[in-house]
Structure 1
């Protein structure tokens, strides 16, 4: 077999001998490792570990997104369920508080003497604030996750303190609302307690055109129970922060492992 010749045309067409050119190792100009050894270094067990951590991080990310959206939808719905009965009750009270009818020979309104309205207004205010905030977050999800995260940033900044505040606010509001329903001096004076009382039933016929006490008793009862559920959403929010902490640890491990692998690559290129 004839060995291949290497030449360039020289001056006057005279061939000139050329030495064979060896290609530089694609791994590194200065590296003493062969390509096989280099691949072995870069494709060790850390590759599988990094891939596993990245998959786990992605699963945690999706789980957190689902839980966030679920918790906000539940909170918004429960806030609305609380808000609507409170609004209907207050509107009905304002419409009828100055309406008088003769009952047992005396002129009176459909409500108790010296009616106490602060429990209803307090509960209404908590429901309104909660509904506005949670609705803003849910609508932000329609525009994208980033928008929702920004809308939810107020709670995120305070972390567990925001969860505790949410739980305490609803628990206290529901507790006060329920406490006010108790009779004081033998008479119900708040709107919820009065509409559910026997005294209201006795004058129902006289005010049948203005109000159905049983309906508003049921509406406010539903509102109270929905407030308890809203307080319970703090537990779901707490689980979100738990998964967020797990993801934070996972991301740190990914960053450390990635940094180690990058240092290894640089060392091989040196």
Structure 2
């Protein structure tokens, strides 16, 4: 038997008593057993299997006792109820209220700016359509793309801001719930697109205005209305009014970009401040989402090293580091006994 190895399946199959496995002796001195699969197995294999599993059981009990002592010194993660939950929810409510107020003010300001931009650009395009056939009122090859681009961005931004405001003002009505779903599902995406779109649009408008001034052509509506050629037909195309309103709309577009960036910054710093205060009060062993569009409960997570609260696995065997080494040791001892 020396030097002979047995697969793990053999040990697992013959851990039970031979009688339970239906093994029958095939020789008078019981030195060989007949398996259900007609395999001839020496009784030393069964003895080795018993010795192996006994060593494994001892190793398991030893490691479990070590884990129990270690786990007992670590406070368990508090369940999401009782006094701890009340304190957490109080902190959460205060910070969510602050973010709601900040975002509500942001939506009100940006919606007002978007509304004015849409009105100014829509009015400019309407006047152009009504007077474009009058000779000299507009350039021969008028470029309306910057005007329509800024108008479209303003309308999309206004729709989203309106949904957010309705969700804040009427949270329990049907229209408020629908607006809430729109705001919840698209807040981060729309906020990012608004800022980027406004930024690109004001660049396009300013570039068209500057190139028109430099070349003297002024093909865009804004540049034409602010030129001497546009002033000659001001009684038709209302050039002074269009020049002033488009200039204001461009400034409002820049203001929208600044407000979106400021809103993202406020969100970041308020959430970071909330997280630091909560970790200082309750430890680093939990995490919760602070978002005015979120109704999630605090999520108790496994704590950072040294945190006030830490989570212990329900299955202590998952914490048995080096358990495979103990098994290998038991197998080696079993082989030594066979020799």
Q: Into which bin does the TM-score normalised by the smaller protein fall? A: 0.5 to 0.7
Q: 206, 218, 221: which is aligned to 1:191?
A: 221
How far is the alpha carbon of 1:153 from its aligned partner? 1.5
Task: Verify: 1:75 aligned to 2:110, yes or no.
Answer: yes
Partner of 1:128: 155
Describe the superposition over 1:50-82 as per-residue Cα deviations: whole angstroms up to 9, x where unpaired: 655443222102112111211111121111011
Partner of 2:337: none
Given that 2:202 and 2:250 are in contact with CA atoms closer than 8 Å, whether structure 1 keeps it comes out as: yes
How far is the alpha carbon of 1:149 from its aligned partner? 3.4
Whole-Å separation in 1 of the counterparts to 2:181 and 2:105: 17
Pick which of 110-119 and 244-253 moved more: 244-253
Describe the superposition over 1:154-176 as per-residue Cα deviations: whole angstroms up to 9, x where unpaired: 334xx4x5543322111001110
How far is the alpha carbon of 1:133 from its aligned partner? 1.7
How has the CA–CA distance of structure 1 residues 118 and 237 changed in structure 2, closer, same or farther, with 3 Å as cutoff? same
Partner of 2:164: 137
Given that 2:209 and 2:223 are in contact with CA atoms closer than 8 Å, whether structure 1 keeps it comes out as: yes
How has the CA–CA distance of structure 1 residues 255 and 152 changed in structure 2, closer, same or farther, with 3 Å as cutoff? farther
Given that 1:50 and 1:254 are in contact with CA atoms closer than 8 Å, whether structure 2 keeps it comes out as: no
Given that 1:183 and 1:189 are in contact with CA atoms closer than 8 Å, whether structure 2 keeps it comes out as: no
Whole-Å separation in 1 of the counterparts to 2:220 and 2:121: 13
Given that 1:54 and 1:254 are in contact with CA atoms closer than 8 Å, whether structure 2 keeps it comes out as: no
Q: 255, 258, 261: which is aligned to 1:229?
A: 255
What TM-score do the two structures reach when normalised by structure 1?
A: 0.64
Task: Verify: 1:164 aligned to 2:199, yes or no.
Answer: no
How far is the alpha carbon of 1:49 from its aligned partner? 6.6
Whole-Å separation in 2 of the counterparts to 1:57 and 1:194: 54
How far is the alpha carbon of 1:221 from its aligned partner? 0.7
Given that 2:153 and 2:194 are in contact with CA atoms closer than 8 Å, whether structure 1 keeps it comes out as: no
Describe the superposition over 1:107-132 as per-residue Cα deviations: whole angstroms up to 9, x where unpaired: x2311121111111111111111112
Unaligned runs of 5+ in 2: 1-81, 276-287, 291-297, 312-339
Given that 2:163 and 2:182 are in contact with CA atoms closer than 8 Å, whether structure 1 keeps it comes out as: yes
Task: Verify: 1:119 aligned to 2:146, yes or no.
Answer: yes
Pick which of 79-88 and 47-56 moved more: 47-56
Higher relative CO (Cα under 8 Å, sequence separation at least 6) belongs to 1
Given that 1:192 and 1:220 are in contact with CA atoms closer than 8 Å, whether structure 2 keeps it comes out as: yes
Larger radius of gyration: 2
Partner of 1:150: 181
How has the CA–CA distance of structure 1 residues 51 and 141 changed in structure 2, closer, same or farther, with 3 Å as cutoff? closer
Partner of 1:24: none
Task: Verify: 1:216 aligned to 2:249, yes or no.
Answer: no
What does 1:1-270 align with in structure 2 at a 5 Å threshold? 52-99=87-134, 108-144=135-171, 147=177, 148-156=179-187, 159=188, 162-184=190-212, 185-201=215-231, 203-204=232-233, 207-208=234-235, 210-238=236-264, 239-240=266-267, 242-244=269-271, 246=274, 248=288, 251-252=298-299
What TM-score do the two structures reach when normalised by structure 2?
A: 0.52
Given that 1:96 and 1:109 are in contact with CA atoms closer than 8 Å, whether structure 2 keeps it comes out as: no
How far is the alpha carbon of 1:191 from its aligned partner? 0.2
Whole-Å separation in 2 of the counterparts to 1:114 and 1:249: 54
